[in-house]
Amino acid sequence: MNDTLLPGLYIVATPIGNLQDVSRRQEAVLRQADIIAAEDSRVTAKLLNHLEIRKPITAYHDHSADAVRAKLVERMGDEAVALVSDAGTPLISDPGYKLVRDARAAGRLVTTIPGPCAAVAALTLAGLPTDRFLFAGFLPSKAKARADTIAEFGAVRATLLFYESGPRLGKSLQALADGLGDREAAVTREISKAYEETVTGRLSDLVARYADAAPKGEIVIVVGPPGDAAPAGDADIDAALAAALERLPPGKAAREVAKALNMASDGLYERAMALKAGE
């Protein structure tokens, strides 16, 4: 690594819990950058203290005023600007994409210093297929929006990754079981920290496991692709239809459930009508 950096934007990943995960290259870029654009300057100050780096930090969010972004892009013309988020890879459920977009539009050098990302780390822990995966960020917190979002993923033949927090875990697992069927899944928690834990099982097992006590810490839910699920039984179909009927008319509920359970919709409409009639 050169002693000085070319002007431009350096996207620098940082640890997701274990400070020993800082790479030599990440440390060198943070040390040599002229300025660090950070999601939360207090969080980044702790990392810089640990590395014994003294450096100006400026706050940056994608919802920062356009003028703030424009000023940073201007500075990239003759300075090295390092972008970090509170933890992990910037831009991944974190600020940065608008800064990258505008830096590129202005012809600035844009480069990344890769490192930890909770989604990829969770994928390596879950023991579920890794050949195709879909990162879905955080599920919406309102029930209808959450169920609608999950329904969009029902037919996707890929392992699904969701970011989550302890207090919301139970509701999200239940909604995933309702919307996707009883697939293989994993709850990964506190990755790279002292209490790292991965619990695997069917979604129904995980719902039961976390029903009484919300776990502490940071969480990634990993859900296997539809082919891994046991064929849905009548009870699964009724449960999924009942959940869908709370939001949708019978025709749409039948189509959504058919997609989520990866089955033909024949007969589901009649069953949805019967459930609606209370039979």
Should residue 215 be labelled a site residue for ligand SAM when binding is judged by CB under 6 A?
A: no
Q: Which is nearer to ligand SAM, 34 or 196 (CB)?
A: 196
**Is the distance from CB of 191 to CB of 199 less than 8 angstroms?**
no
Asked whether position 16 contacts ligand SAM by CB under 6 A, the answer is: yes
> Is residue 185 involved in binding ligand SAM (CB under 6 A)?
no
219 makes contact with ligand SAM (CB under 6 A): yes
The separation between CA 90 and the C-alpha centre of its own chain, rounded to angstroms, equals 12
Distance, in Å, from the CA atom of 201 to the CA atom of 223, rounded to the nearest integer, reads 10
Of 22, 82, 113, 117, the one binding ligand SAM by CB under 6 A: 117
User: Which residue of 26, 44, 89, 174 would you call a contact of ligand SAM, by CB under 6 A?
Assistant: 89
Strand segments, DSSP code E, in 212-263 are 218-223
Distance CA(201)–CA(59), nearest Å, equals 41
Query: What are the tokens at 260?
Result: 């989520």
Task: Name which of residues 158 to 177 contact ligand SAM (CB under 6 A).
Answer: 163-165
- DSSP for residue 156: -
121 in helix, strand or coil?
helix
* Nearer residue to ligand SAM within complex by CB, 7 or 201: 201
Give the one residue of 12, 73, 87, 253 binding ligand SAM; rule: CB under 6 A: 87
Q: How far apart are CA 177 and CA 185, in angstroms?
A: 10
> Is 133 in contact with 161 (CB distance < 8 Å)?
yes
Among 240, 203, 74, 226, CA closest to 157: 226
Q: Taking the CA atoms of 92, 179, 205 and 157 in sequence, report the sign of the dihedral they define.
A: negative
200 lies in the site for ligand SAM, by CB under 6 A: no
Q: Phi/psi class of residue 56: alpha, beta or left (left: φ > 0; alpha: ψ in -120 to 50)? A: beta
Is 72 an interacting residue with respect to ligand SAM (CB under 6 A)? no
Of 29-37, 45-53, 92-100, 125-133, which part binds ligand SAM (CB under 6 A)? 92-100
Least distance CB 14 / ligand SAM (angstroms): 9
Residues 17-36 that bind ligand SAM (CB under 6 A): 17
Q: Is 210 in the site for ligand SAM (CB under 6 A)?
A: no
CB of 167 to ligand SAM, least distance (A): 11
Which alpha helices (DSSP H) does 1-65 contain, by range? 24-32, 41-50
The stretch among 23-31, 52-60, 112-120, 224-232 that binds ligand SAM (CB under 6 A) is 112-120
| Residue 197 interacting with ligand SAM (CB under 6 A) | no
Residues forming contacts to ligand SAM in the complex (CB under 6 A) are 16-17, 85, 87-89, 92-94, 117-119, 163-165, 188-193, 218-220
